[in-house]
């Protein structure tokens, strides 16, 4: 159950063969092969003993482990476990006798061979020294301690393990050592164990185990040169040996049968961009046969001030030529850590979260000319800063005089234990906002399919907003035996569903360990909140039932407490929350609530500094934290939170965060008096609550008019919601319009907007999609809590995009005598005819046929539907268009249209500006792609009935029409003949797929119509993320059914005289 235990489950094809031999061989050429009842199969890195026998071979034999409570491996009469005719697993750390004497005791009790798990935490193997006091005849091999723990855990979980002391043929080494004497490709350093069951191209494969989250497994294999050059040995990250981009080094001499014989290597330094010359000559690589000498020293990292996010412990230098040290791991603690030097700084780095847990810069005595010496001495750096315990901010570090690095030594104050799996466990003292996790858990009937680990769930049911919250504890390694997430996890999903979902489940917390039960996880737990996982060393998990305290000390609460600033001039630490929001005096309300776990709450009245609404400080009993917001026990109004670690009062809370996990270092709580409670000064009643919207210039006239508060008030900032005083109606349908502050339901910077939308504020809170007609970007820091105070230009949606409209104005209703002048067209003289022509302009390419639009139009003053008091112009069917063309005005949106029908979709549109009444006064016309048609010109002078084309009115087109008719008849005849031919052939050849019909009118008609993409009537149900403004804004015209007209389309016969 450890990363170093590589499981090889795939069966390679023709190139891969078994090369083990059952003949006796030298101990130098022997290997340890493992197979188990759980389908594990691997070759362990191992070393021989320095005492007889010197030649041996042991076939697959059952592996036995000793009972630590009853067996004494240092007493030949102290073994109670039956080890007769078995290979015995012994740990060097157990017993006070020599390793050779342990072999003697095993042989005296019938063992036929011994595997010794040595004490070296680095994963290295060491040879076993002779003890001249005893003589033995059975073989012994040394393996890494971590692999020994895995073998022991496999047997303890009920699996059967067989071990073979096999023999490699003498043509190839059993172990290859790579050492980089310069350090540029340090990650290639280490022992590469020959894999007993794998070959590639009929030659052995060697593997070095990686380091989780940082270094992958690395292989040595014989490359076939792609069939056009000599075969050569290569070092690769690709376990399939097919992808040459994974190659990090290769032998420049082909035709060698053994990688240790290669004297010249090229290397590519992928981890050092400054020196990453692809496959340059690199004479510093030394590839030899046998185990590497111990290369690189140890150091021990500790701190009394900081928990270092669990990264204290023993570190080993990977290569003596590089200033990189990696944290030593075992089954109880698999949290990876990396100590490194870079440009004058030492960093202790969390390789999973990518947090700098500790850092130190060499002082001025050590300039860059001395770095090549001092970079190997992190203990020489004196000004270390370490992570603050329990922080949610990755850069929250403080100077730490207690941080210590002990060079050349391993830490000794830690031991991995293997305890009995309990039936019940108790979770307590969580400090990262997951109080609901605390409680008693029992072992379910579910057992993991890979390592037989248990699953736990809560004894007592808990509920949130009426819904039951179910919590489970299980080991993620049961989902996938090759996962990097070999963690104990706390999750809302059980193990069975996690396996069914291939591990794609939510988790509340994890602890990095590969133990038989969660109690033995010595790493410490990380809990999720908002933006990531955070380390919590106060969390406790114990065996058995939870013990409730028998007596509780009476709690005393301050009548008044105040929130102030440590530095008054520095202001709020939050990027979005002003200090005036939370600063001030709060008075206790002793009315306890069930959701508050029986604790009181405090209230700050709205006052002259914060005049919008009251602010509450209260306890959330479900999550277990104190919070500050605009209401009691609500989610949307929460702005500040504190994770309680010590004490029970909010005064004991010394680390507050805003909604985005920004630590509020400049905020302080203290007990105060009634004199510190501020209230609002009396103010005269406003003359009017009315506001006025006016001067729209982007086809949104329907938004203009007088608005009044609806009575709805925002949860976060207490802003008001407004609606028009006059009901807006389009073609008989009511158009809903509301004006409210989106910051009431969102916290992000782009949420601080005043919006005009078709949804009420209450509807917006519960909707995943809020369509908007337009918005004004506000600012909390500027106190833009009324729409009149929003100083930015409004943005309005049109044709798929938002456009800036700086002329749009929102003012107080009493600022002018008339909010909105409808500006009738009385006195306007309408010409009997208007004409359209297009000036030559090669720079403008419209997306419609200009021949259909050009020409004279007649006036019709009888049809006023949708156009207010403006008439309609029309052009009859003629030789250039088979549809009547209209010029008509939409009084709702305030634009002129040109197109074949009188409803929303048009060919051309023009926004009406002030003092523009007639279409010929409209200056800027757009096609359906929002392209400005500069070369379109209206005129009425010299425009009369003779300019109105009808069918046949263009004499020059008569012969052309006749020719077209003949051609059409000819084409029809050809199509009929083709149809009958196809039908006959279909009968002979069977069914054939025919082209599909267009799925919508747009598919068949293509471009050339303007469609408003979102609607004033229908709020829509788009799939945008919760709390986000609709990406496609504005007016969804679908309820008006533009494809059918929805009674909006005017019948041509009503307009064109018959």
What is the C-alpha separation between 31 and 45, in angstroms, rounded?
Answer: 8
pLDDT at 437 over 70: yes
CB atoms within 10 A of CB 511: 26
What tens digit of pLDDT does each residue of 247-302 get?
999 999 988 888 999 999 998 865 444 444 466 788 889 999 988 876 668 899 99
Confidence label for 664 from pLDDT (cuts 50, 70 and 90): very high
CB atoms within 10 A of CB 159: 17
Considering only residues 521 and 932, tell me which one the structure prediction assigns the higher pLDDT: 521
Please state whether beta strands 25-26 and 55-56 pair in parallel, antiparallel, or not at all (unpaired): antiparallel
Q: Which residues contact 54 (CB under 8 A, 6 or more apart)?
A: 26, 27
What is the C-alpha separation between 740 and 383, in angstroms, rounded?
Answer: 52
What local confidence, expressed as pLDDT, does residue 723 receive?
A: 94
What local confidence, expressed as pLDDT, does residue 551 receive?
A: 61
Confidence label for 8 from pLDDT (cuts 50, 70 and 90): very low
Considering only residues 610 and 307, tell me which one the structure prediction assigns the higher pLDDT: 307
What is the C-alpha separation between 216 and 237, in angstroms, rounded?
Answer: 7
- Phi then psi for 581, rounded to 5 degrees? -65, -45
What is the C-alpha separation between 250 and 232, in angstroms, rounded?
Answer: 7
Q: What is the DSSP string of 826-841?
A: TTPPPPSEEEEEE---
pLDDT at 658 over 70: yes
pLDDT at 122 over 80: no
Q: Which residues contact 449 (CB under 8 A, 6 or more apart)?
A: 478, 499
Give me the sheet containing 175-180, strands edge to edge: 280-281, 265-267, 247-251, 232-236, 218-223, 203-208, 190-200, 175-180, 285-289
pLDDT at 178 over 70: yes
DSSP H or E segment with residue 152: helix 145-156
Confidence label for 24 from pLDDT (cuts 50, 70 and 90): confident
What local confidence, expressed as pLDDT, does residue 953 receive?
A: 65
Highest average pLDDT, of 381-385, 408-412, 974-978, 1005-1009, comes from 381-385
What is the C-alpha separation between 536 and 527, in angstroms, rounded?
Answer: 7
Annotate 192-226 with b (16+ C-beta within 10 A) or e (fewer): bbbbbbbbbeebbbbbbbbbbebbbebbbbbbbee
What local confidence, expressed as pLDDT, does residue 817 receive?
A: 55
Q: Which residue has the tokens 């035709």?
A: 255
* Dihedral over alpha carbons 914, 917, 921, 925 (to 10 degrees): 80
Q: Stretch 870-876: mean pLDDT, rounded?
A: 90
Considering only residues 903 and 651, tell me which one the structure prediction assigns the higher pLDDT: 651
pLDDT at 206 over 80: yes
Output the CA–CA distances (angstroms, integers) from residue 199 to 44, 57, 224, 246, 937, in the order listed: 16, 21, 13, 18, 81
pLDDT at 234 over 90: yes
What is the C-alpha separation between 870 and 178, in angstroms, rounded?
Answer: 89
Mean pLDDT value across the chain = 79
Strands of 343-393, DSSP E: 345-350, 355-361, 385-387
What local confidence, expressed as pLDDT, does residue 698 receive?
A: 63
Q: Specify the range with the lowest mean pLDDT, choosing from 197-201, 678-682, 700-704.
A: 678-682
Considering only residues 1006 and 143, tell me which one the structure prediction assigns the higher pLDDT: 143
Write out 871-936 in H/E/C secondary structure: CEEEECCECCECCCEEEEEECCCCEEEEECCCCCCECEEEECCCCCCCHHHCCCCECCCCCECCCE
What tens digit of pLDDT does each residue of 728-758 get?
887 778 889 999 998 888 655 556 789 999 9
Annotate 870-898 with b (16+ C-beta within 10 A) or e (fewer): bbbbbbbebbbbeebbbbbbbbbbbbbbb
DSSP H or E segment with residue 962: helix 958-989
What local confidence, expressed as pLDDT, does residue 732 receive?
A: 75
Q: Stretch 842-857: mean pLDDT, rounded?
A: 83
Q: What is the DSSP string of 757-823?
A: ESS-HHHHHH-S-B-EEEEEE--TTTT--SGGG--SPEEEEETTEEEEETT-EEEETTSSS-S----
Tokens at residue 563, please? 């929130």
What local confidence, expressed as pLDDT, does residue 11 receive?
A: 26
Helices (H) and strands (E) in the chain, counts: 10, 65
What local confidence, expressed as pLDDT, does residue 431 receive?
A: 60
In terms of Cα–Cα distance, which of 497, 506, 467 is closest to 479?
Answer: 497
What is the C-alpha separation between 882 and 893, in angstroms, rounded?
Answer: 28
Q: Stretch 113-140: mean pLDDT, rounded?
A: 81
What local confidence, expressed as pLDDT, does residue 508 receive?
A: 92
Q: Which residue has the tokens 């419609």?
A: 848
Confidence label for 190 from pLDDT (cuts 50, 70 and 90): confident
What local confidence, expressed as pLDDT, does residue 1004 receive?
A: 25
What is the DSSP secondary structure assignment for residue 1030, as one 8-state letter? P
Output the CA–CA distances (angstroms, integers) from residue 184 to 5, 214, 324, 374, in the order listed: 27, 16, 12, 18
Please say whether the beta carbons of 765 and 636 come within 8 A. Answer: yes
Tokens at residue 684, please? 């005269």
Q: Stretch 827-850: mean pLDDT, rounded?
A: 81
What local confidence, expressed as pLDDT, does residue 308 receive?
A: 95
Q: Is 958 helix (H, G, I), strand (E, B) or coil?
A: helix
Q: Is the pTM of this model over 0.75?
A: no
What local confidence, expressed as pLDDT, does residue 770 receive?
A: 87
Confidence label for 631 from pLDDT (cuts 50, 70 and 90): confident
Please say whether the beta carbons of 919 and 909 come within 8 A. Answer: no
Please say whether the beta carbons of 403 and 358 come within 8 A. Answer: yes
Considering only residues 749 and 948, tell me which one the structure prediction assigns the higher pLDDT: 948
What local confidence, expressed as pLDDT, does residue 59 receive?
A: 93
What local confidence, expressed as pLDDT, does residue 902 receive?
A: 79
pLDDT at 1020 over 50: no
What is the C-alpha separation between 470 and 620, in angstroms, rounded?
Answer: 19
What local confidence, expressed as pLDDT, does residue 1055 receive?
A: 46
């Amino acid at each position: 159950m450890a990363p170093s235990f590589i499981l090889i489950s795939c069966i390679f094809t023709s190139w891969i063969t078994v090369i083990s031999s059952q003949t006796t061989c030298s101990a130098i050429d022997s290997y340890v092969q493992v197979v188990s009842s759980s389908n594990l199969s691997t070759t362990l890195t191992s070393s021989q003993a320095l005492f007889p026998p010197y030649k041996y071979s042991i076939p697959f034999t059952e592996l036995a482990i000793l009972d630590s409570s009853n067996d004494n491996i240092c007493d030949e009469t102290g073994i109670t476990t039956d080890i007769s005719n078995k290979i015995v697993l012994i740990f060097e750390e157990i017993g006070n006798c020599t390793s050779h004497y342990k072999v003697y005791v095993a042989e005296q009790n019938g063992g036929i061979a011994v595997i010794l798990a040595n004490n070296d935490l680095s994963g290295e193997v060491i040879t076993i020294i002779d003890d001249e006091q005893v003589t033995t005849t059975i073989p012994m091999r040394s393996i890494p301690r971590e692999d020994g723990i895995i073998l022991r855990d496999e047997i303890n979980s009920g699996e059967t393990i067989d071990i073979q002391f096999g023999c490699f043929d003498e043509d190839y080494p059993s172990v290859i050592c790579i050492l980089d004497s310069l350090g540029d490709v340090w990650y290639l350093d280490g022992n590469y164990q020959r894999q007993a069951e794998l070959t590639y191209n009929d030659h052995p494969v060697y593997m070095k185990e990686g380091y989780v989250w940082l270094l992958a497994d690395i292989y040595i294999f014989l490359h076939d040169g792609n069939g056009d050059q000599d075969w050569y040995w290569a070092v690769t990250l690709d376990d399939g040996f097919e992808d040459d981009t994974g190659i990090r080094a290769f032998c420049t001499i082909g035709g060698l049968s053994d990688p240790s014989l290669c004297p010249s290597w090229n290397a590519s330094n992928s981890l050092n961009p400054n020196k990453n010359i692809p496959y340059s000559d690199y004479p510093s690589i030394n590839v030899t046969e046998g185990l590497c000498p111990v290369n690189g020293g140890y150091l021990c990292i500790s701190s009394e001030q900081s928990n270092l996010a669990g990264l204290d412990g023993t570190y080993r230098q990977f290569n003596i030529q590089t200033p990189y040290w990696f944290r030593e791991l075992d089954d109880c603690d698999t949290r990876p850590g990396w100590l490194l030097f870079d440009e004058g700084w030492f960093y202790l780095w969390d390789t999973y979260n990518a947090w700098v847990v500790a850092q130190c810069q060499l002082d001025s005595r050590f300039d860059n000319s001395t770095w090549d010496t001092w970079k190997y001495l992190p203990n020489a750096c004196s000004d270390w800063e370490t992570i603050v315990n329990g922080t949610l901010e990755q850069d929250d570090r403080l100077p730490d005089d207690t941080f210590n690095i002990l060079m050349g030594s391993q830490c000794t104050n830690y031991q991995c234990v293997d305890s009995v799996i309990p039936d019940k466990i108790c979770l307590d003292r969580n400090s990262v906002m997951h109080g609901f996790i605390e409680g008693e858990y029992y072992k379910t009937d579910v057992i993991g399919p890979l390592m037989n680990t248990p699953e736990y769930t809560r004894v007592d049911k808990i509920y949130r907003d009426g819904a039951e919250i179910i919590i489970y504890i299980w080991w993620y390694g049961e989902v996938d035996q090759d996962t990097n997430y070999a963690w104990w996890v706390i999750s809302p999903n059980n193990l069975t569903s996690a396996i069914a979902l291939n591990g794609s489940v939510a988790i509340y917390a994890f602890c990095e360990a590969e133990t038989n039960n969660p109690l033995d996880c010595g790493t410490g737990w990380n809990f999720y909140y908002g933006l990531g996982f955070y380390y919590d060393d106060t969390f406790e998990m114990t065996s058995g039932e939870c013990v409730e305290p028998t007596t509780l000390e009476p709690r005393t609460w301050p009548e008044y407490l105040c929130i102030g600033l440590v530095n008054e001039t520095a202001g709020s630490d939050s990027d979005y929350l002003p200090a005036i929001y939370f600063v001030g005096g709060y008075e206790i309300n002793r009315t306890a609530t069930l959701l508050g776990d029986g604790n009181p709450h405090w209230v700050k009245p709205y006052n002259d500094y914060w005049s919008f609404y009251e602010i509450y400080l209260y306890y959330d009993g479900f999550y277990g934290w104190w919070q500050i917001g605009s209401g009691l026990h609500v989610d949307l109004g929460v702005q500040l939170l504190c994770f309680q670690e010590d004490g029970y009062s909010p005064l004991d809370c010394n680390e507050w965060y805003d909604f985005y996990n920004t630590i509020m270092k400049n905020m302080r709580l203290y007990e105060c008096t009634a004199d510190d409670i501020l209230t609002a000064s009396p103010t005269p009643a406003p003359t009017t609550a009315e506001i006025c919207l006016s001067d729209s210039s982007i086809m949104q006239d329907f938004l203009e008019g007088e608005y009044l508060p609806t009575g709805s008030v925002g949860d976060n900032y207490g802003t008001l919601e407004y609606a028009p005083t006059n009901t807006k109606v389009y073609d008989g349908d009511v158009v809903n319009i509301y004006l409210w502050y989106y910051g009431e339901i969102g916290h992000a910077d782009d949420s601080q907007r005043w919006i005009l939308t078709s949804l009420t504020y209450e509807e917006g809170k519960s909707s995943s999609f809020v369509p908007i007609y337009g918005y004004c970007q506000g600012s909390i820091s500027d106190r833009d809590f009324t729409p009149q105070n929003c100083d930015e230009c409004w943005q309005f949606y049109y044709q798929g995009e938002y456009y800036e409209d700086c002329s749009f104005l929102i003012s107080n209703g009493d600022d002018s005598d008339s909010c909105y002048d409808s500006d009738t067209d009385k006195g306007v003289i309408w010409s009997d005819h208007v004409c359209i022509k297009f000036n030559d302009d090669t720079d403008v390419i419209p997306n419609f046929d200009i021949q259909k639009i050009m020409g004279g139009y007649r006036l019709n003053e009888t049809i006023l539907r949708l156009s207010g008091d403006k008439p309609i112009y029309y052009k009859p069917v003629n030789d250039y268009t088979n549809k009547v063309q209209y010029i008509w005005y939409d009084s709702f949106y305030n634009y002129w249209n040109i197109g074949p029908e009188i409803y929303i979709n048009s060919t051309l549109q023009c926004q009406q500006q002030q003092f523009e009444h007639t279409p010929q006064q409209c200056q800027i016309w757009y096609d359906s792609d929002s392209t400005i048609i500069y070369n379109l010109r209206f005129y009425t002078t010299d425009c009369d009935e003779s300019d109105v084309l009808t069918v046949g009115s263009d004499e020059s087109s008569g012969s052309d029409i006749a020719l077209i008719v003949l051609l059409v008849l000819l084409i029809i005849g050809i199509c009929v003949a083709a149809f009958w031919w196809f039908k006959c052939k279909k009968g002979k050849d069977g069914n054939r797929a025919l082209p599909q019909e267009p799925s919508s009118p747009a598919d068949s008609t293509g471009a050339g119509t303007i469609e408003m993409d979102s609607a004033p009537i229908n709020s829509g149900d788009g799939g945008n993320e919760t709390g986000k403004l609709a990406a496609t804004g504005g007016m969804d015209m679908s309820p008006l059914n533009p494809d059918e007209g929805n009674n909006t389309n005017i019948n041509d016969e009503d307009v064109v005289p018959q």
